[in-house]
Structure 1
Amino acid sequence: MQMACPIVYIIDDDDIILWMFQEFLQGIGAEIRTFSSARQFLDAYRPGPHECLVCDLRMPEMGGLEVQRLLLESGSHLPIILVSGYPEVHSAVEAIKKGAFDFLEKPVNGGLLVEKVQSALARCRQMHAEKLVRQTREARLALLTPKERQIAELVVDGKSSPKIAEALDISVRTVENHRARLMEKLHVESTIELVKLFL
């Protein structure tokens, strides 16, 4: 399966900064999308698997912290690199605490911007892969009946079939039948694989 081209979104109300950042990032193999306002970006943004945002902290109408807040409220985990032309330690700390990927001060060094954007894109790709693993795991576990789920959880807790049978007041043979069915449904061949699925 071919990976989609990464996307780097840049928001800044200064056209020269937009052009300069676009020039810095030209050779990284990503599609660069620029926006002169946060509202313009938010109206156009559709979450994807391999992307990041470089956003000015202070802009008319809506700044970077507000963009970050709105994205988080919408459930987006888009890695954000905030940029500011002012020494703003408090804002930088607040942004990082709220999940910003990084914070850069203007004037931004082109090499540093490239490095931070590549790291943010890698982080986004990793988060997307982890999300797919979670969704696959949840879909597989949803196939289990309540009894199979209960038995699976007891197996994962280290209980033997006789102990499970005793705890649930059923026969060992019934436990073994449920275990065989749930292992088949989950496509696992060992207790270790089952434990990993529940982690």
Structure 2
Amino acid sequence: MNTAAFATAYLIDDDSITLELMGGIIEPIGVTPLCFNSAEAFLSAYSPRPCECVISDMRMPGVSGLQLHKVLQARYPVPPPLIIVTGYAEVSAAVEAMKQGAFDFVEKPIQGHQFLEKLQAALALSRELHHQRLQLATREARIALLTPKEQEVLQEVLEGLSSKDIAAKLNLSVRTVENHRARIMEKLRVGSALELMRAFISHGR
């Protein structure tokens, strides 16, 4: 499948010429460019898509590219891949952003071939992230089916406590805890405590 098919690139820069340049590079490969002249405008319009990438200038009035990265991380459990556009003097800051989870950076003046390579890689990652997002949404919906007591028992299970320890801590009988655990497994559709732990660890809960 073509990675670019049905893909969206959010382009953010306060310079209209740069936006036009990036859009012109992207459109021929079938990616839809959506242009914004500020991070604030982007954040007001953004909603996650199955195949997407955010490309933001580092220095802008108001919210900068680095600040935007932090906002996306805080606001979305599975944030979109972010490519920072930077000048030569800002490369060290862009590298630091990558250490904190940004996908990559490109330097000005933008080189079309390199730009497209990084965009395609980010879009490929985005498809994987969308799958994680769907898994997370499914899990959260299943957790919502748990009763308050089952959620309480679940938290203790995730802490690694045995049924006996949970029973003592929550002032319940061991049989009652075992019944709660069985219903938790059924509602969350997992076959063992180990599988349950893996599901939560993989999503950072």
Give 5+ residue unaligned stretches, structure 2.
none
Amino acid at match of 2:104: D
Q: Which residue of 2 aligns with 1:129?
A: 131
> Residue 38 of structure 1 corresponds to which residue in structure 2?
38
What is the rounded CA distance, in whole Å, between the counterparts of 1:168 and 1:33 in structure 2? 52
Amino acid at match of 1:145: T
User: Matches of residues 150-165 of structure 1 in structure 2 within 5 Å?
Assistant: 150-153=152-155, 157=160, 159=162
| Alpha-carbon distance, 1:7 to partner | 0.9
How many pairs are equivalent?
Answer: 191
Equivalent residue, structure 1, for 2:140: 138
Q: Percent identity?
A: 43
Please, which moves more after superposition, 144-153 or 134-143? 144-153
Contact kept in structure 2, 1:11 and 1:56, CA below 8 Å = yes
Picking from 169, 179, 182, the partner of 1:180 is: 182
CA distance in 1, matches of 2:164, 2:97: 53
Residue 88 of structure 1 aligns to a residue whose secondary structure is helix
The structure-2 alpha-carbon separation of the partners of 1:177 and 1:120, relative to structure 1 and needing over 3 Å to count, comes to: same
Give the alignment's TM-score, normalised by structure 2.
Answer: 0.67
User: Do the aligned partners of 1:55 and 1:81 also contact (CA within 8 Å) in 2?
Assistant: yes
Equivalent pair of 1:87/1:105 in contact (CA under 8 Å)? no
**Deviating more after overlay: 177-186 vs 39-48:** 39-48
Segments of 5+ residues of structure 1 without an aligned counterpart are: none
Q: Deviations over 1:64-100 (max 9, x none)?
A: x624424643626343323245443344345445654
The one-letter code matched in structure 1 to 2:83 is I
Deviation at 1:46, TM superposition (A): 2.0
> Alignment partner of 1:5: what SS?
coil
Deviates more, 1:98-107 or 1:38-47: 38-47
- Of stretches 101-110 and 164-173 in structure 1, the one that deviates more from structure 2 is 164-173
SS of match in other structure, 1:83: strand
- 1:173 and 1:114 map into 2 onto residues whose CA distance is 59
Cα distance per residue 1:110-166 (max 9 Å; x no partner):
22111111122233333333233223223322322344344445555262x566556
Larger of the two Rg values belongs to structure: 1
The verdict on how the C-alpha distance between 1:158 and 1:112 changes in structure 2, with shifts beyond 3 A counting, is: same
For normalisation by structure 1, the TM-score amounts to: 0.69
Query: C-alpha root-mean-square deviation of aligned residues, in Å?
Result: 3.7
